[in-house]
Amino acid sequence: MKRHTWRIGTRLLLAQALVLVAAILTAAVIAALVGPPTFNAHMRRADRAPDPSERMHVEEAYRTASAISLGLAVAAALLIALLVTWYLTRRFQTPLTDMTRAATAMAGGRYDARVPVGDAGPEMDSLAVAFNSMAGELARTEDTRRRLLSDLAHELRTPVATLAAYLEGLEDGVTPWNEETRALLADQVHRLDRLAGDIDAVSRAEEGRLSLHLAPVAVADLVRTAVRAQQGAYAAKGVALGVAGGPPVVIDADESRLLQVLTNLLDNARRHTPEHGSVSIAWEMDREHADRRVAIRVTDTGDGIPAVQLPHIFERFYRGDSARDREHQGSGIGLTISRAIATAHGGSLDATSGGPGAGSSLVLTLPASRSR
């Protein structure tokens, strides 16, 4: 059976009418039961008892006055109920209508829809703020999804086009099969395999499906291992890599996972630091936390990060400048994985920068071992 859907104004009016009818019936019953006996009792206690004709006239006057009073009260109550209903309807129905329209627009793919925060009361205002916050998050998610698909298509296009061209050349006999051709095809296949692995890794990291094998690790040893692995790449580019050091501290961590994080941070700093620039890595106890935490800081004198890009650099496949080449920008997935690994260790990964040309600093914060 089809349900009748009444607007909130109609429902409020009906509710007011029901309350009013109940009040009128109650008042009428009470007046009929209590009024005449009380009136007659007062008449009997009067100094002079009226004769029967006067008594009938007085009782008729009493009933008429009571009916007129009750009628005026009913009319006033109806008018007030209508005004209250109109006021409440405008206060509640307008924001609800706006929210319905915005929700319908979002369902149609318009994630920029918002509802105004008015004066409909703290509950409605809180609902509007929560709705706008949800809409903003959905808009950012949709933007990330579109950028993800665009970047995936871009990442796949080059190796697939190269493989297709060489396979066509081999088929037509234009391209000879030799060691150079084999190496190039193998490199493109490796590139596709690495991309698939990166996507799987970031998905597992963000979904909390990383397997960690925790063991006591000295931060100094961890940093030295990561720096040693990067020295060749830094020397080839002409960027100085220094270790500022820090206090002796031990953390409970998965060494291979944290080496992956430090490698990503150092690789990111190298790519964004021009020749003759410098990158330094240091660690210290983080005094901002009540518990014992160590902060490992990688600081460079490179490009810097614009303020508008700073909140997004840890998003998957995010690239601040899409026009820059892949070698300079990377796949846009390393920092996403690094933050997820830091979070899995109970830590955090944050970035600061003075802006373009002022360099940047990436800070990995991890809890120190409780057994030391």
344 in Cβ contact with 286 (< 8 Å): no
Domain 143-206 belongs to what topology? Helix Hairpins (1.10.287)
Q: Kindly tell me the burial class for residue 233, based on how many C-beta atoms sit within 10 Å of its own C-beta (0-12, 13-18, 19 or more).
A: middle
pLDDT of residue 240: 93
Lowest mean pLDDT across 6-10, 61-65, 88-92, 339-343? 6-10
For the stretch 197-219, pLDDT in tens is 777 776 676 666 677 888 999 99
Taking the domains of the chain in order of start, what are their residue ranges?
A: 8-110, 143-206, 215-367
- pLDDT class for 279, splitting at 50, 70, 90? very high
In CATH, the number for domain 215-367 is 3.30.565.10
93/88 Cα distance (integer angstroms):
8
Q: Check residue 53 and give its pLDDT.
A: 67
Q: How far apart are CA 218 and CA 220, in angstroms?
A: 5
Per-residue DSSP letters for 117-181? --SS-HHHHHHHHHHHHHHHHHHHHHHHHHHHHHHHHHHHHHHHHHHHHHHHHHHHT-S--SHHH
Q: Which of 22-31, 317-326, 362-371 has the highest mean pLDDT?
A: 362-371
Q: What Rg value do the Cα atoms of the chain yield, rounded? A: 38
pLDDT at 70: 72
pLDDT (mean) for 133-146: 79
Do residues 239 and 277 make contact, with C-beta atoms less than 8 angstroms apart? Answer: yes
Q: How confident is the model over 4-33, as pLDDT tens digits?
A: 566 666 676 677 777 777 777 777 777 777
More confident residue, 152 or 321: 152
